[in-house]
Amino acid sequence: MEQLIYSIAYSNWFLWVLGLFTCAILLLLRWGKDEQRDGFEIKPKLPPGSSGLPFIGETIRFLLDAKSSRRKFFDEHELRYGPIFRCSLFGRTRAVVSVDPEFNKYVLQNEGRLFESNVTASFRNIIGKYGLAGVHGELQRKIHGTAVNLFKYETLSSDFMEDIQDIFLAGMRKWEEQGDIPLQHKCHQMVLNLMAKKLLDLPPAEEMKDIYKAFDDFVGAILSLPLNIPGTSYARGIQARGILLKRIHKCIKERRQHPDVVRNDLLTKLLREGTFSDEIIADTILFLLFAGFETSSTVMAFAVKYLTENPRALEELRAEHDALLKAKGKDNEKLTWNDYQSMKFIHCVINETFRLASIVPFVSREAKQDIKVKDFVIPKGWTVYVFLSATHLDEKYHYEATKFLPWRWQNGGQEKLDDPCYMPFGRGGRLCPGLHLARFEIALFLHNFVTKFRWEQLEADRATYFLLPSMEKGFPIRLYSRADE
Ligand code: HEM
């Protein structure tokens, strides 16, 4: 009996040891596997942060903070957790926010390798299966390359200079007659006319009201709550997408039936290349419209707002452009490519407006594998929100960051265009293909606006900066022609 008890105890003891030994081996094996998989020496841990309320996360707090100050949310989180923190935002619970310029650059430059652009299903429904932001891999590289080609610096003079000036000058003549205008809305209309002309060779808005209404609804839906219920902006946008696609396919058919008609639009170029299916071309045209319309026009209106509030900057800009016109002689009104290249201070104004308005406040990416950052890990499948606006407004990287100081961009100034704390057009494989065009449009607009007009702001107007920057009343101003001076 004693022997039996002893042997049971002994066998239990033996089993305990065996069990512990097996667990230890399994743990070691697993640890080794983690180590092998990610190269970690310590057990991986998530970035610091909090998940906030269930489902809503910290979205409401983010939006409320954004109303009072554009840095509050980031300052508080950065102080508590550092520049890369876990944060449930915009319906994504497994998410990390980065306001670290070097990490932001790393994320954007590793597009397609370690990270991948991730758009929501509702956004994808609007932009379509082939809308560039939702396309990945080889196809993204091909469409992106085509877009870069369409808008490259060298094409601006031949493909855009004439049309931009014609459309902007015609627009400004009408503004002059009207006198009092909501500038932001007028800039939207003018750039929409330009994009419709350049993409599809459509005549100006007044002649095609339905199509332009559909453009408006389409862009409105992208920035709205994704509720597909009749009467909502989102539902109107889905409907508008259908109308626009029909129109684009009609244009494609016309161009095929009448190849002899000469057209200088981007649809014709895409068809001539013969690389893409009609479906891809239609979604690409729609995406270019979305990407190129509200962005540039909003920057134009914000540049005028900032100049209005900073008379010294306005006077310096006006002096540069009055001198340019004087050197050309009065009757030669239109600018040449050489004129554009001779402009200096205007680029400081444009850079500073990009920084301060931060028209694309953030971009989002999904980690394609576990990503080691400092001593923590962002697991595969998590979202990284790269907050461009937060680094643009960070006092650590830009002195007096909330002030409009275009001189900081002058030669010998402290700011550099290739710095990762300044990335208004993103970086890497999704770097904005429209960046040269955007600068060009804004420069031609500002040149004409400050040389033709003086203006006064008619009433105070509040700027909001989320989702896209906008002015609540559309920046109402009264124009005075400078021809009478
Ligand atoms: C103020 C003007 C503009 C700003 C600040 C801006 C900013 C940006 C940014 C930050 C991205 C990168 C998105 C990401 O990484 O996920 C982007 C992408 C893009 N932009 Fe722009 N943009 C502007 C104007 C334009 C214009 C005028 C066009 C074309 C007509 C354009 C076409 C595009 C396209 C097609 C993409 C998608 C690239 C891809 O996903 O491969 N943008 N833009």
- Here the ipTM equals 0.99
User: Largest alpha-carbon pair distance within the chain?
Assistant: 120
Supply the pLDDT for residue 311. Answer: 98
Q: How far is the CA of 41 from the centre of ligand 1 (A)?
A: 40
Length of the chain: 485
Q: How far is the CA of 178 from the centre of ligand 1 (A)?
A: 32
Q: Are 460 and 482 in contact (CB under 8 A)?
A: no
**Is the C-beta atom of 199 inside 6 A of ligand 1?**
no
- Whether residue 308 lies inside any domain: the answer is yes
Query: Could you list the residue range(s) of the whole structural domain that residue 330 is in?
Result: 131-358+404-481
Q: How far is the CA of 75 from the centre of ligand 1 (A)?
A: 27
Q: How far is the CA of 184 from the centre of ligand 1 (A)?
A: 20
**Is the C-beta atom of 197 inside 6 A of ligand 1?**
no
Supply the pLDDT for residue 33. Answer: 41
Give, using CA atoms, the residue closest to atom 35 of ligand 1: 288
Q: How far is the CA of 135 from the centre of ligand 1 (A)?
A: 14
299 token code pair: 């920057």
**Is the C-beta atom of 47 inside 6 A of ligand 1?**
no
Q: How far is the CA of 67 from the centre of ligand 1 (A)?
A: 25
Ramachandran quadrant class, 128 (left: phi over 0; alpha: psi -120 to 50; beta: rest): left
Supply the pLDDT for residue 17. Answer: 47
Q: First-to-last CA distance in the chain? A: 119
Atom of ligand 1 at shortest distance to CA of 437?
27
Q: Give residue 423's identity as a one-letter amino acid code.
A: M
- Whether residue 4 lies inside any domain: the answer is no
Other C-beta atoms closer than 10 Å to the C-beta of 418 total 8
Please identify which residue in the block is written with the tokens 């909502």.
Answer: 232
- Whether residue 194 lies inside any domain: the answer is yes
Give, using CA atoms, the residue closest to atom 43 of ligand 1: 432
In DSSP terms, 84 is beta-bridged to: 98
**Is the C-beta atom of 469 inside 6 A of ligand 1?**
no
Q: How many domains does the chain divide into?
A: 1
Give, using CA atoms, the residue closest to atom 27 of ligand 1: 292
The annotated binding site for heme is made up of 432
**Is the C-beta atom of 299 inside 6 A of ligand 1?**
yes
- What digits encode the pLDDT tens for the residues 391-427? 999 999 999 999 999 999 998 778 888 999 999 999 9
- Whether residue 70 lies inside any domain: the answer is no
Mutate which of 190, 215, 425, 436 to test ligand 1's pocket (most atoms within 8 Å of Cβ)? 425
Closest-CA residue to 191 (of 483, 451, 437): 437
- Whether residue 43 lies inside any domain: the answer is no
Mutate which of 105, 354, 432 to test ligand 1's pocket (most atoms within 8 Å of Cβ)? 432
DSSP string of 416-441? Answer: -TT-TT--TT--GGG--TTHHHHHHH
User: Can you give the CATH number for the domain in which 312 is found?
Assistant: 1.10.630.10
Atom of ligand 1 at shortest distance to CA of 431?
12
Model pTM score: 0.89
292 token code pair: 């190129």
Atom of ligand 1 at shortest distance to CA of 388?
10
**Which parts of the chain have pLDDT scores under 70?**
1-44, 205-207, 330-332
- Whether residue 245 lies inside any domain: the answer is yes
**Is the C-beta atom of 131 inside 6 A of ligand 1?**
no
For residue 467, cis peptide bond before it (omega within 30 degrees of 0): yes
**Is the C-beta atom of 468 inside 6 A of ligand 1?**
no
**Is the C-beta atom of 150 inside 6 A of ligand 1?**
no
Atom of ligand 1 at shortest distance to CA of 143?
41
Supply the pLDDT for residue 227. Answer: 84
DSSP string of 372-401? Answer: EETTEEE-TT-EEEEEHHHHHT-TTTSTTT
Closest-CA residue to 365 (of 147, 148, 106): 106
CA 70, CA 62: separation in Å to the nearest integer?
10
Q: Are 404 and 352 in contact (CB under 8 A)?
A: yes
- Whether residue 340 lies inside any domain: the answer is yes
Give, using CA atoms, the residue closest to atom 17 of ligand 1: 432
Other C-beta atoms closer than 10 Å to the C-beta of 95 total 23
161 token code pair: 């200079």
- Whether residue 365 lies inside any domain: the answer is no
CA 173, CA 457: separation in Å to the nearest integer?
19
CA 336, CA 343: separation in Å to the nearest integer?
11
Please give the backbone phi and psi of residue 57, each rounded to the nearest 5 degrees, phi first: 60, -130
Atom of ligand 1 at shortest distance to CA of 144?
41
